Structure 1
Amino acid sequence: MNERGQTTDDAIQLRSVSRRYGSGADAVTALDQVSLAFPGGTLTAVMGPSGSGKSTLLQCAAGLDRPTSGSVTVGGTELTKLSERKLTLLRRQRIGFVFQAFNLLPSLTAEQNVALPLRLAGRRPARARVREVLRQVGLGERAGHRPTELSGGQQQRVALARALITRPEVLFADEPTGALDSGTSREVLALLRGMVDREGQTVIMVTHDPVAASYADRVVFLVDGRINGELAGASADGIAARMTQLEAVPC
């Protein structure tokens, strides 16, 4: 149990994960022997200078990209041994995604956008469940509105509801507040924090924003594709200071 009373069994484990692109003299190592565990029921932020491997780490952990070497395990299932078909099914059934771009279909209502993952999986979405998730993100009264009728923050809430409709074991968020103003960002971050605290949701968030990272239980830092320490329960100022140190280190 952690201090919030949540179980801390690892939701995801990376063991000696490397990801290289290209070959020979032109090869680029985006991740270099990364071993990292993400406890269930916690919010972890991943930070680092530009080009440090943050997005590659997220993509490998979520099964969007295959490591060159090493292993990734999600809830006891090793991703590196799965076929493409089984990997697609696992992502669809057990993993949720929220990105900086909301990626909503403009012709669909909020309710229809949220139900889309279930329809794509060949499942008939229960309207009550869709409405429940929209209420969860504070949009119970906006189910019939299309994206153009919603603010940026409301659109990101719809994207969050869409990610949660399948009850994912892990929610990955890649710069989820990058397109939002500071006030709206805090609302979305408070939603993510609340899902962790109240429902034991596991969230892994890539961000460049120290304020966003301060909502996390811990912040993991990457530099040149390697883990460069972490902070637990840090303030935005403390996280910003650490980032300043990392960015000042000569390559």
Structure 2
Amino acid sequence: MNNDAIRLRSVSRRFGSGDGAVTALDRVSLSFPAGTFTAVMGPSGSGKSTLLQCAAGLDRPTSGSVTVGGTELTTLSETRLTLLRRRRIGFVFQAFNLLPSLTAQQNVALPLRLAGRRPSAARVREVLTQVGLGERARHRPSELSGGQQQRVALARALITRPEVLFGDEPTGALDTRTGREVLALLRGMVDGEGQTVIMVTHDPVAASCADRVVFLVDGRVGGELAGAGAEAIAARMTGLESPESVESPEDVPC
């Protein structure tokens, strides 16, 4: 029985044509098992964000196949692809992307409203409590810290009970302590609720919270590490890019 939440088979993504064409992904094949936490790392321009966008149905590959829970994305119409993203995929980005005029609970309910569904007040409270903001439901973004705003964004991504949660540098705008709190939340969702998380990051400490780290180099898979600490991940990254660009952080618990 296939237990993959996401599968990519020989996925390529090219931009432009002729001599000016750029290959962002080059025949990438990867599987992301359900209920696991995967970090994606690589030097700048290695194809990390393009991989996330193709895997999440935000962009269509030039060739190859992408399946989400057995559903082939590359053959879906734009309408059906939009519906699948709304119902089965969640997103958390470095920018919180909250509407400043809405309260936390209104921001969380927004994806359901945009999909034409009536949000349950109990479900909104449930996800806000899940991220530790049950008492801040009526606060607007300006009344919340950066870490709290990212927690609202995380609750907003979880409101639809997505099969897969994608994060694009979700701790990139946070200080170290707050970033670790958000990573601990993600780790807890994987361990306690079987959530599937795929996170693009440049931070070896963030990546060390994942079950495995996939490395991309020039649009191709450049190896993996499973259960590695931050120092081992940083050492692998050092081999992929210039030595002075990567620090060797201490391992920290997630």
TM range (shorter): over 0.9
Aligned to 2:252: none
Query: CA contact under 8 A between 1:17 and 1:70: conserved in structure 2?
Result: yes
Match of 1:79 in 2: 73
Match of 1:33 among 14, 27, 33: 27
- Residue 93 of structure 1: SS of its match in structure 2? helix
Q: CA deviation at 1:8?
A: 7.9
TM score, norm. by length of structure 1: 0.96
Q: CA RMSD in A?
A: 1.1
Cα displacement (A) at 1:248: 3.8
Determine the C-alpha separation between the residues in 2 that align with 1:129 and 1:25.
52
Q: Distance in 2 between matches of 1:120 and 1:141?
A: 25
**How far apart, in 2, do the equivalents of 1:8 and 1:42 lie?**
14
Whether the 8 Å contact between 1:8 and 1:40 is mirrored in structure 2 is no
| Correspondence for 2:144 | 150
Distance 1:135 1:248 in 2: 43
Matches within 5 A, 1:138-217: 138-217=132-211
Find the counterpart in structure 2 of residue 51 from structure 1.
45
Q: Return structure 1 stretches of 4+ with deviation > 3 angstroms.
A: none
Task: Look up the equivalent residue of 1:16 and give its one-letter code.
Answer: S
TM-score (norm 2): 0.95
Q: Could you tell me which residue of structure 2 aligns to residue 97 of structure 1?
A: 91
Alignment equivalent of 1:137, drawn from 128, 131, 135: 131
SS in 2 for 1:229: strand
SS state at 1:81 partner: coil
1:8 touches 1:41 (CA, 8 Å); kept in 2? no
2:134 aligned counterpart, secondary structure? coil
Offset of 1:89 from its aligned partner? Answer: 0.3
Unmatched runs of 5 consecutive residues or more in structure 1: 1-6
1:209-231: CA deviation from partner (whole Å, max 9, x where unpaired): 00000000000000000000000
Structure 1: which amino acid aligns with 2:8? L
Unaligned runs of 5+ in 2: 244-254
